[in-house]
Chain A
Amino acid sequence: MRNVGAVIRRRNEEAAGALIGYLPVGFPTLDESVEAAVALVENGVDVLELGLPYSDPVMDGTVIQAATVQALANGFRLAHGFEAVRRVTERVDAPVLVMTYWNPVVQYGVDRFADDLAAAGGAGLITPDLIPDEAGDWLAASERTGLDRVFLAAPSSTDARIRQAVEASRGFVYAVSTMGITGARTDVDQAARGLVGRLREAGAEASCVGLGISTAEQVAEVLEYAEGAIVGSALVKALADGGIEAAGALAAELARGTARK
C-alpha cells in the first residue's frame, strides 16, 4: 500500500514539503476526473485527495459544491469512487486519499467501505464531518485494513481536542487554515501557523494545511511551517474553466511552491 506519511516525509527531505491536490470524482465526467487526477500527479502533486460528491456538503464552498452537484446530476454513484481510485492508482504512484462526508460510508457499511477502498488501492479517508468522538467504527475498520485516517483540527480546537486529533489521525492531520469552508482566499490565515505549532507540540508527525490556498506563493508560505499544503477549490475551478490541461498547468505552477528556499 502507498504510504501517505512516507511520501510527506520524503517530500520534506528533498523539498520544502508536500503538495496535496483535491478533485471531486465524476466532475466533469468520471473519465475526465480520472484523467485530471493523473494530470495533477504528472505535474507535481504528491498526494491526491479524491472527493466523493455528496448531497449536503456543509464544509464546501460554492466552487466545489457546483462541481459535485454536477457530478451527482451526471449520475455519480459510490461505486464510481472506488473505480476512480483504482484507475488512478493503476496509472500513477501517488497515494490516493478519499475525502467523504460520513453518511455515504455509513450507508455503504463502514467495514465494506474500508475493504473496497483498500482493494481499489486507496490509502485512506479524510472525513470532514466525522470527529474522532464519533468515529469508533472507522477507527476499528482502519486498524483492521491499515488505511490512513485524516481528521481535522481547527484554530478553535482545544488542546485536548488537538491531542485527540493527533492520536486518532494516521497519514497526517488536516489543519484547517482559517475558520471557514473551502474556497480560495487572498490571505491564508495566520491562525494556520499557530495551529500547526500546536499540532507539532501535541506530537503530530505531519500537519497539512488546507482551505484557501490557491497560489504557488501561498504553498511556499504554508510549507515554511507545515509538512504539506492542500489545494482544492483552485484546482476544481481550473478544471471547470480550462479543462484537464488547465488543471495540470495550475498543479505545475503550485508545485513551484514546494521548492526549497
Chain B
Amino acid sequence: MALRAQTGPYFGEFGGRFVPESLVAALDELSEAYTLAKLDPAFGEELAELGRSYTGRPSIITEVPRFAEHAGGARIILKREDLNHTGSHKINNVLGQALLTRRIGKKRVIAETGAGQHGVATATAAALFGLECTIYMGEVDTERQALNVARMRLLGAEVIPVKTGSRTLKDAINDAMRDWVTNVETTNYIFGTVAGPHPFPEMVRDFQAIVGEEARQQVIDLTGGLPTAVAACVGGGSNAIGIFHAFLDDADVALYGFEAGGDGVDTPRHAATISKGRPGVLHGARSYLLQDEDGQTIESHSISAGLDYPGVGPEHSWLAALGRATYLPITDDAAMQALRLLSRTEGIIPAIESAHALAGALDLGRELGRDATILVNLSGRGDKDMETAARYFELLDGSAE
C-alpha cells in the first residue's frame, strides 16, 4: 500500500484513542463529519476557495542562493508558508476544522497554543465564522509570546493562561481537553497539530497536505525534477507532515524532520522527542514521548515555544520506525544562527520554529553537496519572535546589559 494512503486510527503501532469515555462521542461525531465532508465536493471547494481568497494560496516558493552558499552550495528552496494570512501554516488546518465545526453545528471552539500561531489562526477563523473562541496557552508562553496574546484578544478570543504543570503547550492541551470533556455538547476542539486522538492526526495531516502538494509541483516546475531532500521542523509535527506527505511514496526523496535540541540532546533541556524519547501514551495517542522510567512526562525545553512539546504526532513515530523519515535535533543556538543568517542573506525573517529546519538544511547541504536540491518548509514568519531574537542577539539599545 502506498504510504500516502495510510489513515488513522493507527499508524503501525502508533496512534489510537486513549481518551476518557466522555470524549468518545465527540471524537466519533468529528470522525463521521470529517468522513462525510471528504466525500462532499462542496466542502473541498469551499476550503480551496478560502485558501485562494483568504489565506493567499498557493504560497510561493523562493530559491535562496545567498543563504545556500553557507550550505555547501546545494540548492535551497523555501516553501513560503510564512506568507499565509496569520503568518504560518497553521491557518490551513484551522480553516478546515472551522468549516467542520459549522457542519457539526457547534457555536464554540477551543484550542491550545504554544507559540500562539495556532491560537491566532483559530481566533482568526472564529472571527471569520462568527464562533465563540477560547484559547488555552501556557503561562510561560503567554509571557514569551505576548504579542500573539494581544492578537488573539483583538480578534475577539478569550485567552486563558494555563498555570499548571510546566505552564507550556502540553499543559495547555490538558486544560483544553478538560474544557472539552466539560463542554463537549456545545464545543468543538480545533486541535493544532498531528498529535492527539484519532481523527486529529489524520485530519490535520489532510488539511496540511496542501503544502507538499503545491511544493512538489512548484519544485518540479522550477528545477525539472524532485528535490533530493525535504526538511521541516517538528514539534507536534503538522508543518512537517504537511510538506512530507506528497513525497512519502517518492522513494528517492529523503525526508528530514528537525526536532528542538534545546541546550543539546545530552542535556536535560531539549524537546527532541523521537531522537531521545520512547513510545508511550500522551494526549490521546501512542507515540514517541519524553518520559521518565515511571511514564511521567518530562518537561521539554526549546527556545521556540512552538516546538516546546514532549510528544510528537503518531504518523511521525511511524515514519521514523519505518525509516522513511529521519529525525535529527537542532540546538537553540544553531536555530538562532540560521534565523539570523536567512535574515541577513535573503531578507526573510523566519519563525524560530522554522529556523530549526533552516539549520538542518545547512547541515544537509554540506553533507549532500552541490548537486542536491533541498526543499525547506518555511512554516512561519519571525515577527512574533522579535523580542526573543532582540534579547538573543542584543539588538535593542539599552537592552544589552
A interface residue numbers (CB < 8 A to B): 54-59, 61, 65, 69, 72, 77-78, 102-108, 128-131, 133-134, 151-154, 156-158, 161, 165, 176, 179-181
Contact = CB atoms under 8 A, between A and B. Distances in A.
Among A156, A158, A180, the most chain B Cβ lie within 10 Å of the Cβ of A156
Given A54-B295, A58-B178, A106-B281, 19 more contacts: A54-B296, A56-B174, A59-B181, A61-B178, A77-B294, A104-B296, A105-B295, A106-B295, A131-B24, A134-B17, A134-B18, A152-B22, A154-B24, A156-B22, A156-B24, A157-B21, A176-B22, A179-B181, A181-B178
A108 B26 contact: no
A78 B384 CA distance: 41
B18 A102 contact: yes
B25 interface: yes
B348 interface: no
User: Majority SS of interface residues in chain B?
Assistant: mixed
A8 to B, nearest CB: 20
B185 interface: yes
A72 B296 contact: yes
A25 to B, nearest CB: 12
B21 A152 contact: yes
A179 B24 contact: no
Which 5 A-B pairs have CB atoms at the shortest separation, nearest pair first?
A107-B295, A156-B25, A104-B295, A180-B182, A154-B22
Contacts of A180: 22, 181-182
26 contacts: A54-B296, A55-B165, A56-B297, A57-B174, A58-B174, A58-B177, A72-B296, A78-B294, A103-B281, A103-B282, A105-B295, A108-B294, A108-B295, A129-B18, A129-B284, A131-B18, A133-B17, A134-B17, A152-B20, A154-B22, A156-B185, A161-B21, A176-B20, A179-B183, A179-B184, A179-B185
Contacts of B289: 103
B295 A165 contact: no
Given A56-B170, A181-B181, A176 B21 contact: yes
Nearest to A178: B182
B165 A131 contact: no
Contact of B280 (A77, A106, A161): A106
Interface string B246-289: 00000000000000000000000000000000001111100001
Contacts of A152: 20-22
A153 B281 CA distance: 21
Given A104-B295, A106-B295, A179-B22, A134 B16 contact: yes
Contacts of A133: 17
Interface string B11-30: 00000111111101110100
Among A55, A107, A181, the most chain B Cβ lie within 10 Å of the Cβ of A55
A95 to B, nearest CB: 23
B181 A58 contact: yes
B193 interface: no
A218 B181 CA distance: 22
A104 B165 contact: no
Nearest to A80: B294
Interface in B145-180: 164-165, 170-171, 174, 177-178
Contacts of B294: 77-78, 104, 107-108
A231 to B, nearest CB: 19
Contact of B295 (A57, A103, A158): A103
B20 A165 contact: no
Nearest to A128: B20
Contacts of A78: 294-295
A209 to B, nearest CB: 14
A231 B19 CA distance: 22
A157 B24 contact: yes
Contact of B182 (A128, A129, A151, A181): A181
A61 B179 CA distance: 10
Nearest to B22: A154
A104 B282 CA distance: 10
Nearest to B280: A103
B293 interface: yes
Contacts of A134: 16-18
A192 B359 CA distance: 55
B291 A103 contact: yes
A88 to B, nearest CB: 20
